[in-house]
A and B are shown apart, each in its own frame.
Chain A
């Protein structure tokens, strides 16, 4: 290299994986480079063409596409592309286009191969296809899992068996036996496929409702039909069907195409797609009769988590599956509790809060829950019952690995075991007379979901929040201010920002400094646009629909959350595979350089999003605590 090319070498040296190469080698790389300029919008690499250069972005921005034309990745200064093609047949696998005016440094293939063969850090970095080392790229993992690429329609094996909704119990049972189906769709009118779908009756309904209660054979089927029919569209992905089943604890989903039923998919259909199955764990939970039995099943939860990670499930799937499992434990404990203590004296709804309500639960989690009681609740007469039930569930959950909430946000706390009218007052007060301190503690209540009993109570609260929150600027400003308290560790590479805790020095917390700031800021936008969703990804969809923040910011935020979450998930899975107790504390040297550089970007996205949040809601930052 000419010594005068030092500017070019220095630039390489600031970016992974070149930052870990010896200087003399970097000099050789710099001397071998060719440079090309691409105007914004012009193609850089076209699919299928021959390419013998590693592309390094000196300035500008590049979009990488799949062959199908779908956006795969967006790269900026100091990032590389074209490496996968260089490793496999020198053909362009992912077309690339200049998003901005872009200057590219091209490193010739022989130099690339030399680096790849002699430098492990370099090989690790570029070898994205190596599953064991880098199971990391967000979009790649979605590709690998069949649950996420196959549509529900693929599971349909026969046309649905239907009957008029006026049919009687015995007739329904006869049709099901004759047709050898485990479910029957009930439609309006004469009972053919043209009628509107009104309900579904399953084997389980016949067993648990008709037989247990010894109903007469002439009972109208509508009496035992499940209310609140849950269906799925035929073009939904199989994993969405799985999430629906997990979330609602149903084993059959009618599949709808253009408004008409096209078939029914059963739990067992999906099980085939997922070997060590979270659905299987859920099924198992619901069969247990004792807390002891539940405790035994809880040992399978970790295996199921690890299996999902190894099968390249994305964070939404894993978070939903774990939340579904947590919800099932709660439901089953409530059912067992009701058997022991007798039926509830007044209707109630058991609420999940925080990560379980958001469908973003992982392995290391405590229990956050509450009870909403019917307005006819009389503390003198009824509270002893509900306290006993709450205590039974809370102790049971602790047995199953969900530790007690240190902040005492549990239904065992009188304050969080109140009638609906009191809950409505709580939320109204939080929203209309907001105080920063108080909001900090009540943040968690704005992620809520009814898991058992009269879930309509939970829906009423969601409606109240969705209508009131958006019009209280002061509430949103304070919520935004609280969301800015926890910042991502931006000094990731240079001066690493460490958590100040004796035992875990030199680490940072992937939850506190990673996923939590993202879900916090998403919650603010979601409340501002009146969204009723709880899950961060679904909230982002609602936010995107209102154009509250620019579409590409929404996408960046989604990718950032997915990446940080998946790194956190893998960190936990790895610990368990190695027989250690999983946690959220990560040491930087544990991460591959690939993960590090992507995390850095994700943190930058979060930091930008926080700046926007401050600006959008005029949030003054109070005190900084991490």
Chain B
């Protein structure tokens, strides 16, 4: 299959290695500087050689300016293997609006949150787990903006990095996913690009549990499937990262 590119318009024509190098010079927080110094692969690197890390946040809502991160799951992987021994999961204490005293997140209890560390306390474990790897998410409007906002709030400086977005890839593969009124009348169903629905198209199994780590693993598996079905191991990472 030809290699489609999935850049949205206008393309964010960023050279990620250069940008990471510049950010390394600007960063003040040492952990952040080390993260940038680890750099990232060159744009021409074939997907088969890219070290990646799937990252998933559970949050109290969808707006990074109003809501907080509750849990973080990640798993390092390559096109060939998802490495569970390197998998990590943290619950972090969210900053809740005054009127709200509890969060409803599947599997996380009130006392889990009470005892949880602040994000700042785990940064020195989290950043090295991401360093040198290309971050993979399902729906890039969550992890990067929430991370950026959380660090701005705590360190007075944000964070940036390239991401591969499995949802954007699905959106690209199904440009006509919302049928017209006419097509709807004829019985055509919209194509869902949500994580669980996208996985079904590649015959990936259903994971009944819901937590940030299982979703990160699910995202990593989905990217492997997408690459094997639509792109191939030789595709340069530059074609997919955003």
Interface residues, chain A, with chain B CB atoms under 8 Å away: 2-8, 30-39, 42, 58-60, 100-101, 103, 106
Contact = CB atoms under 8 A, between A and B. Distances in A.
Contacts of B228: 37-39, 42
Of B81, B84, B89, B221, which is in contact with the most chain A CB atoms at under 10 Å from its CB? B84
Chain B, interface SS category: mixed
A4 B84 contact: no
A33 B83 CA distance: 7
Interface string B65-100: 000000001000100111111011100000000000
Contacts of A37: 202, 204, 221, 224-225, 228
B213 interface: yes
B213 A35 contact: no
Given A5-B84, A58-B205, 13 more contacts: A2-B89, A3-B89, A4-B209, A7-B208, A32-B84, A34-B83, A34-B84, A35-B217, A37-B204, A39-B225, A42-B228, A101-B225, A103-B221
9 pairs of A and B residues whose beta carbons are closest in the complex? A4-B213, A101-B203, A35-B82, A59-B205, A37-B224, A39-B228, A7-B209, A34-B81, A4-B211
Interface residues of B, number: 29
A30 B214 CA distance: 13
Nearest to B215: A4
B182 interface: no
Nearest to B212: A4
Contacts of B73: 4
A101 B83 contact: no
Contacts of A34: 81-85
A42 B85 CA distance: 26
Nearest to A42: B228
Contacts of B207: 7
A59 B205 CA distance: 6
Interface of B: 73, 77, 80-85, 87-89, 202-205, 207-209, 211-214, 217, 220-221, 224-225, 228-229
A59 B221 CA distance: 12
A216 to B, nearest CB: 80
A33 B217 CA distance: 12
A101 B84 CA distance: 21
Contact of A103 (B77, B85, B87, B204): B204
A35 B81 contact: yes
B84 A31 contact: yes
B203 A59 contact: yes
A100 B225 CA distance: 12
B84 A35 contact: yes
Contact of B205 (A6, A103, A106): A103
A31 B228 CA distance: 25
Contacts of A59: 203-205
Contact of A32 (B85, B88, B203, B221): B85
B84 A7 contact: no
Contact of B229 (A5, A7, A39): A39
B210 to A, nearest CB: 9
Nearest to A32: B85
